[in-house]
Amino acid sequence: MLLATEGVTGVPAQLMTGRAAVAQVPPEQIRDWLTPVVSPIDGIVQALRLCGFVPRWDPLAGPLKEKCDMFRQLHSKTSGAPMLCGPLDRGQLWDRHENRYFAAGGHLVLVLGLDDTDAVTFHDPEGLPFARRSLCSLLDTLTDVGGLVSIEGRVATPTREEMLLSGLQRVAMLRQQYFGHPWMSGPGLRGLVAAIAGRAPMGSKREVLWAGLSARGRAATGLAELSAKVRAEPMLCISLRALALTSATALHALRRDDAKGIADAISEMARWEDELDHVFVRPLGQTEDPHLPPKWEMIDSDNR
């Protein structure tokens, strides 16, 4: 949302933030099963940097009155430029009962203005382009780690192709960073199979798993589409598409409460996550040093 206000379009947010790179499965934190290891704010700040901007992150902490005072100061300092506000509690924001489970992460809105009556106009990605709330009611829904992200300037103007390549390099570096971690990617999924222990998940576990499998499938699909545009090993696209397919298979088994089908599909997902690790460690164009970031080249879309 913030990139669009600066005229940057056609750059997938999930790719640039790195949140599609690695999913975590911490055994003692069920709510975080199959959630991105990169936090929403860290991902946004990094994405802005990859696009050549200088991001500013201002946490809003303390009593509600202090949060509101700081918001007004920052809004004035930026001359009313758009800012991202969040993470927010979306259920509290819209005063509704959440009848679906939303995996840990963050709901952010794009602040468009603050008037003399302390009313905030903002864009909500859930489908409300010009929502309005009082400043206090908006910030009352802010989570403990919430705040404002703004842009202070721009130091570079990379092309769309250069931004996509930077995003893919970030994905690869995150895969390398968490390679072999017992809670991440393939090992984490195998731990999830063990945690399920041959029983179809019920209650909150079922909701967590449904949200996480859906999100992982969408992330793999998005990365597969982008991998078709870069000169990388064919196994990258194959592995991503297979990961998306097996996540759908796991969802189908979960819908039927098929414990064996769930375990088999998640085990297959783990195999494809392992394959992704191998591809990202030494993609085509990589130097002999496996710790260096990959060097992809864009494929001319007219000649693919």
Local confidence pLDDT in tens for the 304 residues of the chain: 777 777 777 777 767 899 999 999 998 889 899 999 999 899 999 999 999 999 999 999 999 999 999 999 999 998 889 999 999 988 788 776 454 444 444 689 999 999 999 999 999 887 678 899 999 999 999 988 899 999 999 999 998 888 888 888 889 899 999 999 999 999 999 999 998 877 888 888 899 999 999 999 999 998 888 777 766 678 888 999 999 999 999 999 999 999 999 999 999 999 999 999 988 875 434 444 444 444 444 333 333 3
Q: Is 157 helix (H, G, I), strand (E, B) or coil?
A: coil
CA distance 200 to 256: 9
Supply the pLDDT for residue 181.
94
Domain with CATH 3.90.70 in the chain: 53-154
Stated pTM of the model: 0.83
Measured N-to-C along each axis, helices 259-281 and 234-255 cross at an angle, to the nearest 10 degrees, of 160
- CATH number, domain 53-154, options 2.60.40, 1.10.260, 3.30.160, 3.90.70: 3.90.70
Query: How many residues does this entry show for the chain?
Result: 304
Residues with Cβ within 8 Å of residue 87, at least 6 apart in sequence: 40, 41, 105, 106, 107, 108, 142, 143, 145, 146
**How distant, in Å, are the alpha carbons of 99, 199, 274 from that of 188?**
28, 18, 11
Supply the pLDDT for residue 33.
93
Q: Quick one: tokens of 186? A: 């393939």
Residues with Cβ within 8 Å of residue 41, at least 6 apart in sequence: 57, 86, 87, 106, 145, 147, 149
Supply the pLDDT for residue 46.
93
CA distance 190 to 273: 11
Q: What is the DSSP string of 188-248?
A: HHHHHHHHHTTS---HHHHHHHHHHHHHHHHHHHHHHHHHTTB---HHHHHHHHHHHHHHH
Sign of the dihedral through C-alpha 252, 187, 291, 234: negative
Q: Are 210 and 100 in contact (CB under 8 A)?
A: no
Three-class secondary structure assignment of 40-82: HHHHHHHHHHHCCEEEEEEECCCCHHHHHHHHHHHHHHCCCCC
Supply the pLDDT for residue 292.
42
Question: What percent helix, strand, coil does the chain show, rounded to 5?
Answer: 50, 20, 35
